[in-house]
Amino acid sequence: MTAQTIKYLDPLVVGKLKNIEIKARLIVEGFITGLHRSPYHGFSVEFAEHRPYNTGESLKNIDWKVFAKTDKLFVKRFEEETNLRCHVVLDVSDSMRYPVGGPISKLEYGAYLAAALCFLMVKQRDAAGMVLFDETLNYYVPPKAKMSWLVRIFQKLEEVVNQKEFFTHRTATPVVLHQIAKKISRRGLVVVISDLFSPAHPLEELFPALQHLRHANHEVLIFQLLERETETEFNFPNAPLVLKDLETGEELKVQPEQIKAQYRKHLSEYNEKLRRKCRELNVDLVEVDIKKPYDKALTDYIVKRKALTK
């Protein structure tokens, strides 16, 4: 991998680029440059634009131009016959706007990762769609295998990242995942990008929602986005600190060193329960530090995807 590639995979550099489409393209192209050929081509089944005509089928989908050249009958394959239909589900609640005023927020990182995943899917001729949610499923674009289809997704992601409102978008992840399981009728890959913080809903409520998706025969992959230095390690200066809930506006005054050990213990237990249950449900969980390059998240995706299809 070249120094130039690493530069474009740096979240801080990507965040300064002009628009989501450019960001997605550079992330994916840089990522592919750094991979061996086999992992990239191995995580999806080979695509074919046509398939042989079977006796008795309707003649309306035959490609007559191919017949004129080859004297053989082939049927056009349409989008609904693509190998994989991927629904990228992005949490756009206010907790994802952390850290406020930092180099890059979880929401920004998630938007760039979502755009890159959609671009990667369509680039390999699979179908990609998008779901944005907070308390409700508030935006849905069904999967299609067209680069032109991604334009509306990129525009919406750009709009969401640029919003400046706070304390208006709470999270109801379990509720929304149940809605998605009911909405998506055809089996596919559901990629959830979230910090998995849903204060109004205990972690235990998330598991039936994931099970609902698995029961509908969807493969489920979760990217859990966290700012590891502060959210996981709770490393703050040893001085009085005011913590503010970005979804409710509620404030809490703390002395970091006094609660650090207890905080880390509770979070560790939370994450271990999440990992254990995901393993039981055959849901793949990828933990991502938003300060790390995108190639780590994308490479983990390839590894998980290959494992899912074995």
pLDDT block averages, 10 residues each, the chain of length 310: 49 73 73 46 42 77 80 66 80 93 91 90 87 94 91 90 77 94 90 92 95 93 95 93 88 94 96 96 93 83 66
Q: Determine the Cα–Cα distance for residues 118 and 170; give it in Å rounded to an integer.
A: 25
Domain spans, the chain? 3-39+83-308, 48-79
List b or e across 77-96, with b for residues whose CB sees 16 or more CB atoms inside 10 angstroms. beeeebebbbbbbbbbbbbb
Q: Which CATH number is associated with domain 3-39+83-308?
A: 3.40.50.410
The pLDDT value given to residue 139 = 94
Cis peptide before 99 (omega within 30 of 0): yes
Q: pTM of the full predicted structure?
A: 0.79
Task: Tell me how crowded residue 210 is: count the other CB atoms within 10 A of its CB.
Answer: 26
Whether the CB-CB separation of 99 and 12 falls below 8 Å is answered with no
Chain mean position to CA 127 = 14
Contact 178, 198 (CB under 8 A): no
- Which amino acid appears at position 298 of this protein? L
pLDDT at site 227: 95
pLDDT of residue 257: 94
Q: State whether residue 48 is helix, strand or coil.
A: coil
Do residues 117 and 301 lie in contact, with contact meaning Cβ atoms separated by under 8 Å? yes
Q: How many angstroms from the chain centroid is the CA of residue 183?
A: 18
